Amino acid sequence: MDFKLKALTKSIWVFHVSAGSCNNCDIEILDCLTPRFDLERFGIQLIGSVRHADAILITGAMNRKSVPRMKKIYEQAPKPCVVVAVGQCALSRHMFRFSYNVKEPLDNILPVDLYIPGCPPRPEAIIDGIVKLVNKIRENK
Amino acid sequence: MSHKVIVPIGPYHPLQEEPEFFQLYVDGERVVDIDIIIGYNHRGIEQLAETKHFDQVAFLVERICGICSSSHPYAYVLAVEDILGGEREVVPERALYIRTIIDELQRLHSHLLWLGLAGHFIGYNTVWMWAWKYREPVLDCFEMITGNRQNYAMFKIGGVRRDIKDEDIPVLKKALDELVPAIEMFRGAVMDDPVIKMRLKEAGTLTKQQAIDWCVVGPTARASGINIDIRRDEPYGVTDRVNWSVIIENDGDVFAKTIVRILEMNESVHIIRQCLEKMPKGKIDADIKDVPPGEGIGRVEAPRGECFHYIRSDGTNRPVRLKIRAPSFMNVASDKVAAVGGTISDAALTLAAVDPCYCCTARLAVIDKPSNKKIMNGWDLVKLSQEKTEKLKQGLSDTGK
């Protein structure tokens, strides 16, 4: 992958979007930042605006109201930008698959680079996933 | 009036985890009106419930909200057991105790979570980090008992899915013993810190009459002096067989809401300890096969307030109708009175003070109404709030000299 993205792996700034989740994945993402797991030692930081983001973490099953907004958020992000789907709902819509309001899985809408399964994924799983992604980007050159 | 500015908060920002959209109408620094737009999280759960059978719905309602992931299934199984003749008639004794323990552990983790976020909003990131640090042992207890940190899947119609093993009880007790000094520390930190006091006192006040008018529930109502608690008013589990008290404050501001939640954690610890002492041996599941036709309701005091489930069965294996009323639905509306009249730097805090469960609700940005230009997102608001705390701190240290 390109040089720019490789440089970003030293300090990934993460923007977190809840696209209609039950909150559990979101709590576990915040949990990653707190003293026990402390993601910041990898240079990963949660930021307030998608315009500064190197990675977007998306949780939850996308409903009709959030799909257009999600596209807008992705357009606003500076490229290159990695998209990480966190949790079973973002991966496959989980038990909301047959809901009238949840039409499409996330990867039909945005290019997803990393899938982290689990309901919710443990903080260890999220950290492991992100470290794997960083390593992969670095190897790919 | 001509200089009315709209401050949109939401729907997607990193602090409130769930999407929820607030439009604050501001005149200078004052908030003059507020619009709450919800529905960014609508997943059609009530309709989905009608397509699943009774046992599956318990897992579905668990995923309404990740923070109250025991309150919703609890209210749901109570509603189904209401059709079957009532929780006390159907459920084995030991299961009642286990249910109460899980419900109170969840209250501990939820209140710690809120306390951390509230600390972050006023610029006390240490409170955030420490509160979440002490929350981890509670999640460890959950993992030990249920096998998962969140989404415990403990509740089933007629009992619970997993037993609390004898060897787990000392570990649980030890975790609680270690939590008590932490709660005491937080109480001291909030009550004695002059800056927190100045910042939270008289911010986002909801008077008793307003609280009654807006039908608020849970800690938000109790902080305004309304004496309600479903655990006492309509006991479920073993909440009427243990000693505890309902915490009531009269001020109705954010400070009172914080105190109510911190003191409630003490009560939760107290309840769990008594349950662990009194818990009898025996079955944990009643093996319910069929649900007869009928209607039932279930009410549970979730960490945010009364969680209500209504269910109708026609004798088949699927519910005909499931109606859910989550506590935040009532509490979020009260922001309309609580935030109006306050300053914009208090708004983020006031909106967060009802501990909104945005899984049912959207997010905030600022637009200048005449020009529609000025945009401010939730992050800037939090910064504004943190700056105010900083100023107060500065002022305090100046007078101290």
ipTM of the shown complex: 0.89
Specify the pLDDT at position A1: 52
The answer, yes or no, to whether the previous bond of B181 is cis (omega within 30 of 0) is no
Beta bridge partners of B365: B8, B377
Task: Check pLDDT > 80 for residue B359.
Answer: no
Instruction: Give the domain range for residue B359.
Output: 5-40+339-400
> Which of B340, B313, B310 is CA-nearest to residue B322?
B310
Number of folded domains that form chain A: 1
Question: Per the domain annotation, does B84 fall within a domain?
Answer: yes
Residues B301 and B370 in one domain: no
Specify the pLDDT at position B379: 57
CA distance B39 to A59: 16
- Average pLDDT on A50-71 reads 86
Question: Per the domain annotation, does B334 fall within a domain?
Answer: no
The more confidently predicted of residues B104 and A2 is B104
Q: What is the DSSP letter of B377?
A: B
B358 touches chain A (CB under 8 A): yes
Instruction: Note the pLDDT tens digit of each residue in B168-187.
Output: 999 999 999 999 999 999 88
Q: Which residues contact B139 (CB under 8 A, 6 or more apart)?
A: B109, B149, B150
Of B13, B42, B47, the CB nearest to A65: B42
Mutation choice for B interface testing from A15, A16, A23 by most B CBs within 10 A = A23
Specify the pLDDT at position B381: 61
CB B199 within 8 A of CB B184: no
Residues B321 and B350 in one domain: no
CA distance B66 to A22: 5
CATH number of the domain within which A117 lies:
3.40.50.12280
Instruction: Note the pLDDT tens digit of each residue in B299-319.
Output: 999 888 888 999 999 989 999
Task: Check pLDDT > 80 for residue B12.
Answer: no
Question: Per the domain annotation, does A141 fall within a domain?
Answer: no
Residues B311 and B357 in one domain: no
> Which band of pLDDT confidence, cut at 50, 70 and 90, is reported for residue B380?
low
Question: Per the domain annotation, does B50 fall within a domain?
Answer: yes
Task: Check pLDDT > 90 for residue B331.
Answer: no
- Average pLDDT on A28-41 reads 86
Domain boundary among B306, B328, B350: B328
Residues B11 and B149 in one domain: no
Question: Per the domain annotation, does B366 fall within a domain?
Answer: yes
Task: Provide the residue type at A25 as one letter.
Answer: C
Task: Check pLDDT > 90 for residue B288.
Answer: no
Question: Per the domain annotation, does A53 fall within a domain?
Answer: yes
Question: Per the domain annotation, does B255 fall within a domain?
Answer: yes
Beta bridge partners of B33: B25
Q: Which chain A residue's Cα is nearest to B361?
A: A20
Q: Which chain B residue's Cα is nearest to A38?
A: B129
Question: Per the domain annotation, does A8 fall within a domain?
Answer: yes
pTM of the model: 0.87
Specify the pLDDT at position B3: 57
Number of folded domains that form chain B: 2
Residues B53 and B202 in one domain: yes
Residues of A with CB under 8 A from a CB of B: 15-31, 34-36, 46-49, 60-61, 63, 65-66, 69, 73, 94-96, 98-102, 119-120, 122
Instruction: Give the domain range for residue A124.
Output: 3-135
Contact B133 A20 (CB under 8 A): no
Mutation choice for B interface testing from A14, A18, A46 by most B CBs within 10 A = A18
Specify the pLDDT at position B370: 39
How many pairs of residues across A and B have Cβ atoms under 8 Å apart?
A: 127
Of B40, B51, B129, the CB nearest to A66: B40
CB A49 within 8 A of CB B148: no
